[in-house]
Chains A and B, each alone.
Chain A
Amino acid sequence: MDIISKYIDAIKAIEPRADIHVSDDTVYTTVSSSKLRDLAKAIYWDMDCFFRTCVGADERSINGFYALYHIFGDDRNGLNIVLKVYADPNNPTIPSIVDIVPAADWCEMEARDLLGIEFSGRKQYRLVLPPYWPKDLYPLRKEVPYNVKPQVIISSEKVGSWGKAPTGVAVPVGPYHPALHEPEYFELYVEGERVVDVRYRGFHVHRGIEKLGESKLTYQQVNFVAERICGICGFEHSVCYAQAIEKAAGIEIPERAKFIRSIVLEVERIHSHLLWVGVAAHLLGYDTGFMHTWRIREHVMVIAEMLTGSRKTYGINLIGGVRKDINEEKKRRALDVLKIIEKEFAELVKTMVNVPQIMKRLKGTGILPREDARKLSVVGPTARGSGLDRDIRRDLPYAAYGYADFNVPVYDEGDNLSRFLVRVDEVYESISIIRQLLDQLPQGPIMIEEFDIPEGRMAVSVVEAPRGEDIHFVITGRGKPYRWKVRAPTYQNIPALRVMLRDQPLADAPITIASIDPCFSCTDRVFIIDKHGHRKSLDQIMYRWR
């Protein structure tokens, strides 16, 4: 393919000695840290790629170094480009690329928090772990056991205080705020009712699943952890993980399993979008809309339970296929339910759009301009609402999406209303995808038993979750993954919140925060938005670990 050679020449131009090897849709190169920044600039801006994520890995037992993988994505041609940089074990520092690629801010800080890789040339702060976590204890290092419990005294520290508030009254939204349903903490600085600045501190949901994945669990058990990364789009993670391992080990799963995976993925997308439409109506005070949307959604939960055995965490996905089959009777009942949903949801949206308050508060609020969206490489409905035409199901088709044709709704106003309409359209697309896939469901086995997973293989797998693209990066080990990194969609969308929330009335903060459909349990990331706010260590917290 000429595109791959184009990338190879671009990389060779900057780093002549780089050893590049290509697996089916990923270009791996190992680069020296001195050349990293200009390579990142070339790929991100000149080749017009999007930034997926960066993964820190403790490879001292393999090659004696720490490694950092920067992953870029070229959606149009369905390519992933992985730049690997080594850092020497006793003083791991790597030049930061955050000024070239603003979207890399978080994953660099996460690599620093969990692995201790320092980044030169940027302001560094604690991201993932709580402030009272001991300074020199990096959980993802191989020698640290997964159940280490540092002795810390949890005093009732002042929530989220980082010194002086920039301006105005500080309004704490969270950690237990009715609009969020999840423990995330936004501190909105308001003048009157206008939001001036936002600070965000999350990570209440950091459960250390990556450490568990590479220490306590085996390959097949990691599926069930992946499924519980997020309670709403759990199956995306489980499919993404399984595909990553299957790609790394070169396992070819039966056709029927691919179809069942795609069908259940689309059932989950319908349930997730209906859930969001209901919550958005609730946030705007229109409880009737919330109740009726969730009444319609109940049908989806029932057919999900019929197809997979559980209302939400389906648990039918393993490496090598699926555990539960779809017979004729289930197919018929699923099609009936889809007919009901299509009819009732159309009518309900017609009603909601005519409620005066909803239109007034959705149109023109929480604007995310197209260039900001491009700079922060936002994903999913948030990107499609701001004019970026990105959809992994069409760009890098996986599972059985090659067999279904569907169009991707894109609006370019970039306000809450366009994100609302993107999700409404996607519900109908999903219904038509399920119908197409159910018709072409091939016969055959649904799982293969015998396969072996060689050690030391790398793979990047990308899946389109209801909230955006969801990336799993895997290095295979013996009996369990050596390194398993999850980059959830909301991880990429939260930085865009600052652009959306700036100069908006406070009353719209909940609906704007909800408009990116944040799934904090996927993300559990934190970052400081404003320029000069640096996280000072909260002195009233005592460490007893040292």
Chain B
Amino acid sequence: MSLKNIRRSRLGFLRALVIAGRSGRVTRRYPYEEPLVTSDFRGKIDIDETKCIGCGACVNACPPNALELINTRDGYVSLRYFVGRCIFCWRCIDVCPTGAIKGTREFELATNDISDLYDIIVHEPNKCRECGKLFSTKRMGDYVVTKSPLVENYVDLDPDCRKSRFLRAIENRFGGGIE
């Protein structure tokens, strides 16, 4: 296709009319017609609260930190999804253990107020039976128990109580005081 073998003609530029004529008006009247979106498009994700256990696997996998676990003042843990920062890579769907996140083809996300872009899932926290502190989520506890039943008897202890119980257990067994 080098320049030498392109036929140069003075009125060659009129051929643009031929091209335009042949292609016709290709505009998709989008808001009133179907857009050019294929079935494989990755759009906004949708978190199903019946399956989400608040484990945070998606939070670790999300490159732009669009998914964050925030714990409000009274100990409630909630998963916040900020669509504004999401890059629609669907890594969270790959890593979610319970398949709670579903990908949609939604892309009409324009808004004039940024608070529309936040989806929040508020989780029930676990209450530690010894010291009453609220930690992680109840759903997480049930999920862990279903996965490995033997942890059942100390799943409702918050991490510090659990550690001190564990240390005491070792101490009793070896008879030495570990303070």
- Residues in chain A within 8 A of chain B (CB atoms): 217-218, 220-221, 224-225, 228, 288-289, 292, 295, 298, 302, 305-310, 313, 315, 323-324, 344, 346-351, 353-356, 409, 411, 417, 421, 424-425, 428
Contact = CB atoms under 8 A, between A and B. Distances in A.
Contacts of A421: 1-3
B13 A354 contact: yes
Contacts of B40: 305-309, 324
B8 interface: yes
B15 A225 contact: no
A355 B15 CA distance: 10
A310 B41 contact: yes
A313 B63 CA distance: 14
Nearest to A359: B8
Given A309-B40, A421-B2, A421-B3, A217 B16 contact: no
Contacts of A310: 41-42, 88
Nearest to A306: B38
The CB with the most chain B CB atoms within 10 A, among A302, A310, A347, A355, is that of A310
Contact of B19 (A218, A305, A348, A353): A348
Contacts of A351: 12-13, 15-16, 19
Nearest to B15: A351
Contacts of B61: 220-221
Contacts of B15: 347, 350-351, 354
Contact of B63 (A225, A295, A306): A225
Given A221-B63, A298-B36, A425-B2, A355 B89 contact: no
Contacts of A350: 6-7, 12, 15
Contacts of B38: 302, 305-306
A348 B10 CA distance: 16
Contacts of B9: 354
B26 interface: yes
Contacts of B26: 295
Q: Is the interface of B mostly helix, strand, loop or mixed?
A: loop
Nearest to B7: A350
A147 to B, nearest CB: 12
B42 A353 contact: no
A445 to B, nearest CB: 16
B89 A224 contact: yes
B23 A313 contact: no
Given A224-B87, A425-B1, A355 B63 contact: no
B41 A302 contact: no
Interface in B94-130: 94
Contacts of A424: 1
A421 B3 CA distance: 8
A354 B87 CA distance: 43
8 contacts: A220-B91, A221-B63, A224-B63, A307-B40, A351-B15, A353-B12, A354-B12, A428-B1
A425 B91 CA distance: 37
B19 to A, nearest CB: 6
A224 B91 CA distance: 10
Contacts of A417: 3
A346 B23 CA distance: 15
Given A409-B2, A417-B3, A425-B1, 16 more contacts: A217-B63, A224-B63, A289-B16, A295-B26, A298-B36, A315-B42, A315-B87, A349-B1, A349-B6, A350-B12, A351-B13, A353-B6, A354-B8, A354-B10, A354-B12, A355-B13
B68 to A, nearest CB: 14
Contacts of A315: 42, 87-90
Nearest to B8: A354
B110 to A, nearest CB: 17
B57 to A, nearest CB: 13
A301 to B, nearest CB: 8
A218 B63 CA distance: 9
B23 A295 contact: yes
A416 to B, nearest CB: 12
Contacts of A218: 60
A324 B38 CA distance: 15
Contacts of A346: 1
Nearest to B94: A323
Interface string B10-28: 1111011001100100100
